[in-house]
Amino acid sequence: MKDSRCTRLGAPLLVLSLSSWSGVVKAWTNHFVHNPQRHSSARNPGVAWRGRPSYRVGPLRELVVTDQSFRPTRGVPLHATGSRDGRATQADIEWDEDEYDFDQQKSMDEYRTQFQALAAETSQNPHAVQQAQDLFDELYKAYIMTEDASYWPGTDIYNLLLETHAYSPHKNGAVEAEAIVARMEQQEHGVARPNVATYAKLMEAWTQRKRLDKVTAVWERIAEQGLQPNISTYNKLIKAYGVAGKAEQALQVLEDLLLQHQGKDNNKEEDDQTDAETSTKPTQKTWVQVLRAFASKKYVRNGEGVDQIQALLRRMAQAYRQGEADWKPGVDAYNSLLKAMSFQKGSGKESESVLYGMLEQFREGEEALRPNAGSFYHVLHAYRGDKDAGVSFKVEKLIQLQEALAVERNDPNDPARTTTRVYNAAMAALSRTKDPQKAVRAKRFMDRMNLQHNDPDMRPNEATYTSLLNACAYTTEGEPADKLAAFQISVDALKEIRQSPSISTNSKMFGLFLRGCANLMPHSRKRDAVVESVFASCCDEGYISDYVLEQFERAASEQLQLKMASKLQPHGDKM
């Protein structure tokens, strides 16, 4: 017997044989027929009685059972149809006592914990969405087979499923989230109803795809569904404006909320505003979302970003002194300032001063100001482009400081621990300096990363090798020994790239190696031999680009250029 095939929201569903699903449906059908009084909608929310039983086996699918077809599809709850009035008949459903054996070992709390873990890792795990959908299938089977109402997927489970779609790297994640919410909005399907948190997840899904129009449309649906926005949904709206490059609108939303909050304070009306689920009082996260909106190149380069962020930080600090304990600026708030400063040319020293100020306050007991990986990344990024040889020492000192900060807690999940992103920023900053030892220093960073090869957050990637080759290629200062060391590092790096199963070669890497040949090797037959070999590989592997041709022309002798030009000349054409 062939297995049935089905899809749910564009992803594969769990596939069971016909007789297996038939067993599930028959057991469920017989249970209702013989025990209708035991199953009111209050006890079992998956069941709706409208003159005849409606047999529901899953909010994301429909099982259609007839004497000729058995096809699960998404979008409609279960109906057992065979006779004209829609009732299932014994002729339509066959039961195999031995084929389907169900043994439920997992509690609802365990299911919820698994959903939470998948939602947390979905941005890094490309399989999280499928795993969450499979887990949902498993949960629903537990509900059907045990007849235990505690396994009924409530709104909280749907919201975790939505969160997994929202933050997933899949481009259609928001579309899939929309389909789930649309199902929840259709009351006749008997699935869990959406709440305000549901729409917050959906707004996040569209924000991640930079669709402000969709976010505002979801915002309007909240009122259409008879719900009241809370501060969580306002935060999502502010974030969407920020991602869309509309910081002024984000700030206006905050100002409106502050005005509402001030009015309630003046009238001494706190009532349900103290309820976290209904409150519209701004939180520190609200402020941070506005700060992040101004921490973009657009606002920094027109001279507005850093000034706006500093003014907002002063307002937060003043409000904290006046009794708003939740508004005290923390590490996320100051990271927004550091990010904005990193876009300003020559802001390395100033941003480093902010970082040391955070460290000083942390040492004095302000845990909320403990710098994290983002703090160090933004300071290192601020030094990028500074050619002063002394920057190399500053970069090494910052990395050592971050590593020491993480060692104090020895926690693999410590937000202050050094990551590939931070090391890449350090190597990129080194590569632009005039330090003759920058290639050697960059290689030391690479070696530290390789020592942690089992840690996925510390593995070298394409950007790491590109920065290393860049540091080597532009080692134009120092003694001949410095250039020789840089060239040897670049040779080893290119060899590692070409042998690595996880690193993809690109034309930029080949171009940087050729630039290194021009800057680090004297004109000679040996240089021409190396350049010819690398350029031939570029041609054979399809990595020729304007940048590669430019660097080849710089590194190759005139004789080699003519030789390679004749090889590249199409047959039948003349120079």
Q: Tens place of pLDDT for every residue, the chain, 575 residues?
A: 444 333 333 333 333 333 443 444 444 444 443 443 444 333 333 333 333 333 333 444 333 333 333 222 233 333 222 333 333 333 443 434 444 455 567 899 999 999 999 999 999 899 999 999 999 999 988 888 888 888 999 999 999 999 999 999 999 999 999 999 999 998 776 689 999 999 999 999 999 999 999 999 999 999 999 999 999 999 999 999 999 999 999 999 999 999 998 866 555 444 444 566 789 999 999 999 999 999 999 999 888 899 999 999 999 999 999 999 999 999 999 999 999 999 998 999 999 999 999 999 999 999 999 999 999 999 999 999 899 999 999 999 999 999 999 999 988 889 999 999 999 999 999 999 999 999 999 999 999 998 886 787 888 999 999 999 999 999 999 999 999 999 999 999 999 999 999 899 999 999 999 999 999 999 999 999 999 999 999 999 999 999 999 999 999 999 999 998 887 765 444 34
Please name the residue ranges forming H helices in 229-372.
231-243, 247-266, 284-294, 297-301, 305-321, 331-342, 348-363
Q: Where are the domains of the chain?
A: 7-101, 509-575
Q: Is 324 left (phi over 0), alpha (psi -120 to 50) or beta?
A: beta
Task: Let me know the angle formed at the C-alpha of 473 by 471 and 476, rounded to the nearest 5 degrees.
Answer: 90
Tokens for 252, please give them. Answer: 């206006």
- Its sign, for the CA torsion 440, 445, 451, 454, is negative
Q: Tally the C-alpha atoms within 13 A of residue 42's C-alpha that lie toward its C-beta.
A: 2
Q: Which H/E stretch holds residue 535?
A: helix 525-541
Tokens for 26, please give them. Answer: 């028959």
Distance CA 566, CA 529 (A): 17
Give the residues across from 73 on adjacent strands: 62
Residue with token string 């649906």 = 221
**Max CA distance (Å), the chain:** 95
The conformation of residue 542, written as its DSSP 8-state character, comes to T
Q: Is 321 left (phi over 0), alpha (psi -120 to 50) or beta?
A: alpha
Indicate the Cα dihedral angle 43, 48, 53, 55, nearest 10°: -90
Q: Which H/E stretch holds residue 48?
A: strand 48-49
Q: Where are the beta strands (DSSP E) in 50-151?
A: 53-54, 62-65, 70-73
Contact criterion met (CB below 8 Å) for 280 and 260: yes
